[in-house]
Amino acid sequence: MNATFARCRPILAWLPLAVVTLGGATTWAIFLGGGLRSIFAWLALQTLVPLGALALVVGTIAHALWKRRGASRVAVTLAVGLVGLWPAAWLAGQGMIAYPYRLAATSPSATVRLPTDAPMRVLWGGDDLAHNRHAMMPDQRWAYDLVVEPALTSSERLEDYGCWGTPVVAPISGTVHLAHDGEIDQVPGRPSNELRAPLGNHVAIALPSGGFLLVAHLQKGSVVAREGEPIAEGTPIGRCGNSGNTSEPHVHIHAQRQDPRGRPVNFSEGLPLFFRDHDGAPMPLGGADVVDDGPVATGAIVRHLGGARAAAARD
């Protein structure tokens, strides 16, 4: 028995590393495979896999110091551990990657008008993280944050933001699936970190092609859309506010496959979202830069023109 254990001990010493490596590789494979199950792998990559990697690294180093051997195993473990710990940094906004839903392979897509008639700056939007910080989220893979200038003022007065109170309209005809009101408007100029109701006051419209269009962060008391009723494109649904998990008044809009009713954010598949009847690209790009220690929006400015005027502008 002792002789058998002695022969197996070198193999057993590598077993924890093998288990963590196999578990991490399997989780990555599921994550990159897409679909709804990739969301659970995405969450595991940021939590369970880093915890396993951390325990492995600490345990291996402690064992090597105690036994005064195992330098090669420590080196391999550190390499695997760094890969395993990497997704934990995503929680702090570091080293992020775009969620692996691919634009060309994801359907159905939604093509809608802009949610206001005012000229809007695309704060975040597009297919990559450089232009769209939402791109790392599964349900918000192709989400937009739209503002009316002045924006990014860092003021704590709602009235100092151009988007505050701007009328918001239905971007497409359909049926109002959800209409939620009653959430307070947060103090702007800093992240609200509102996790209980991150969308704030919002409206969800069932898309004719399948999926749901969500318009979020509306002003408290402004939602006029009614659940279960048909709504025509361009019909008022509310006003731009600062409710939910937000840092300043803006209109958030995204499309997702699953029914948002009773479903937490980040637990749905995002769908590609394009705009029509405006003076910009179908998927206008957002972005922000830092100038003189302050944020400056660098995204496209877009304006709804209507069908005929938009066609003339393109010609």
Give pLDDT tens digits for 198-237.
Answer: 999 999 999 998 999 999 999 999 999 999 999 999 999 9
Q: List, as one string, the DSSP characters of 54-68.
A: HHHHHHHHHHHHHHT
pLDDT at 90: 96
Long-range contacts of 100-104, Cβ-Cβ distance < 8 Å, separation of 24 or more: 100/31, 100/32, 100/34, 100/38, 101/34, 101/138, 101/141, 101/269, 101/270, 102/34, 103/127, 103/142, 103/272
Using DSSP's 3-state secondary structure scheme, residue 113 falls into coil
- DSSP single-letter state for residue 31: H
Give the residue with greater pLDDT, 303 vs 57: 303
Please report, in angstroms and rounded to a whole number, the separation of the first and last CA atoms in the chain. 84
Please indicate, yes or no, whether the overall pTM of this predicted structure exceeds 0.75. yes
Nearest to 77 by CA among 94, 64, 91: 64
* CB-based burial, 5-29: b 16+ in 10 Å, e otherwise: eeeeeeeeebebbeebbebbeebbe
Alpha carbons 158 and 193: distance in angstroms, whole number: 17
Mean per-residue pLDDT of the chain: 92
Give residue 309's pLDDT band: very low, low, confident or very high (50, 70, 90): low
The two most distant CA atoms of the chain are separated, in Å, by 86
Please tell me the total number of residues recorded for the chain in this structure: 315
Can you tell me which residue has the tokens 């490596």? 21
Nearest to 260 by CA among 249, 250, 251, 271: 271
pLDDT at 239: 98
Alpha carbons 218 and 198: distance in angstroms, whole number: 12
Using DSSP's 3-state secondary structure scheme, residue 170 falls into coil
Can you tell me which residue has the tokens 């906004």? 93
Burial environment of residue 260 by CB neighbours within 10 A (0 to 12, 13 to 18, 19 or more)? buried
Alpha carbons 232 and 112: distance in angstroms, whole number: 12
Q: Is the separation of the CB atoms in 167 and 178 below 8 Å?
A: no
